[in-house]
Amino acid sequence: MLNKMINRYRSIPVAAKASLWFIFCSVLQKCVSMLTTPIFTRLMSTEQYGQFTVYNSWLQIFTIFVTLRLNYAVFNKGMVKFRNDRDGYTSTMQTTTFVLAFVMFLIYLVFHRQINDITELPTFIMVAIFAELLFTPAIDFWTIRKRYEYIYKAVVFRTLLMAFLNAGLGVAAVLLFEEKGYARILSCVLVNMVFGVSLFIYNRRKGKVWFKKEYAKFAILFNIPLLMHYISQYILDQFDRIMIQKMVSIAAAGLYGVAYNAAMVMKIVTQSVNNALIPWQYEKLEKREFKELDDVLFLIFIGVSVCAFMFSSFAPEIMRIMAPAKYYEAVYVIPPVAIGLVFSFMYTTFANVEFFYDQNKFTMYISMSGALLNIVLNYFGIKWFGFIAAAYTTLFCYIVFALCHYIYMSASVKKELGVDHVFQSGRLVVLSAVVLAVTILMIFFYDKILIRYGINLAILLAAWIKRDFILTMYRKVRRKKK
């Protein structure tokens, strides 16, 4: 069997091999982060862990405004548009982000007291943020370039080395220094800087030129309209920690961050499922086989919902593994975050239809509206009910996202094809209501371990009884995908 698997692996095209390894790298990075969280939560106080959580949130904010996200979608676009001069494009993007970061760093030095008051971070930590912004985009430029050339071994090696160095050096730093939160931050910065500077030099030498105006102009004009979309996504994913830091305490942000990271296991599941589904979904849309598309995706929605429910039902055990007792009050963050990712998966599936028909005009407006709603609800929710409310406001915003994308998707399909809908709305509403009700209800049984385990055993038994049907659906998607 092992030889058969090896021979089958060797026979697949290099592009497929590269895709497999890149997915593996992405999952591995998240898994290493998850596996080391229990270590850090036991070595650090809630306030110290909060410092690390808040640092990462502020880093994301500054990344958007300082680098304009030139190392994201527009760099992928440039790899295709300027395929004959990828070296020059890479070097130009690197120079552009470096100059932007350096100018913003000079501005920070002038107004550092005011900015420090806003972030509640000391100057040396803010300098660490700008150090990352100056050099670490080079890592993304190098990695994306390798992906387009299917050179996966170097990427795998770099990813593995960085992941384990970050974890190992982080644990050592936390053990050695009293200021454990700052030690954890600086250990990550050190690893990122070592790789960032070395790849910055590599990209520069390979590019031969520092800057081409044509490339920089294209990238900036392409990305500026997308900034609001990036900001909106950030607000939904990260900004609640900043608001908790400001309105409650940095310790509360640490509590929230641990529970939120625990629930992110669900995000790995939903992203992996969506990535696997896109080719099959596009094929069905191209052939206009809407009924099969609807039926299969509805079953997948059920499967993702069941995973979220089971994950939420084990929240007490997950929190005890992830962190000591002082973090336990954050256990109630896990269920709304897990259900929120179900609705996030739904709206991503609807958005795939929009993108297929090039009807993504209003995606930015939907994102902006959801982000503003999230800020308003977070403000009042945290103020009235405490930091746990932030998880429920995020859940509500994901529901709004899913609803808005469903409406817009249906309008887009009707405009393009004259078809009223792709997905039956009635059963989606019923499924949504059921998953919301049963998952929230499970919270009341967190101290009734036999009831929780009994329900999960019943679900697993039902899945076993229906295993042939489930495998048939899986094979259908896999066969069409190929």
| Percentage of the chain exceeding pLDDT 90 | 18
Q: Of the candidates 342, 355, 347, 321, which has an alpha carbon nearest to the alpha carbon of residue 269?
A: 342
The pTM score is: 0.74
pLDDT in tens, 77-94: 777 677 777 788 888 889
* Residue 475 pLDDT: 59
Q: Of the candidates 377, 258, 394, which has an alpha carbon nearest to the alpha carbon of residue 329?
A: 258
* Residue 482 pLDDT: 44
Of 269-283, 327-341, 377-391, least confident by mean pLDDT is 269-283
Tokens read off for 136: 């670490």
pLDDT band, very low/low/confident/very high, at 362 (cuts 50, 70, 90) = confident
Mean pLDDT of 276-282: 70
Going by C-beta distance under 8 Å and a sequence separation of 6 or more, which residues neighbour residue 349? 274, 277, 281, 297, 301
Q: Of the candidates 334, 329, 333, which has an alpha carbon nearest to the alpha carbon of residue 310?
A: 334
pLDDT in tens, 173-209: 999 998 999 999 999 999 999 999 999 998 888 877 7
Q: What b-and-e string marks burial along 211-223, b requiring 16 or more CB atoms within 10 Å of the CB?
A: ebeebbebbeebb
Q: Of the candidates 183, 202, 205, which has an alpha carbon nearest to the alpha carbon of residue 194?
A: 202
CB 191 within 8 A of CB 165: yes
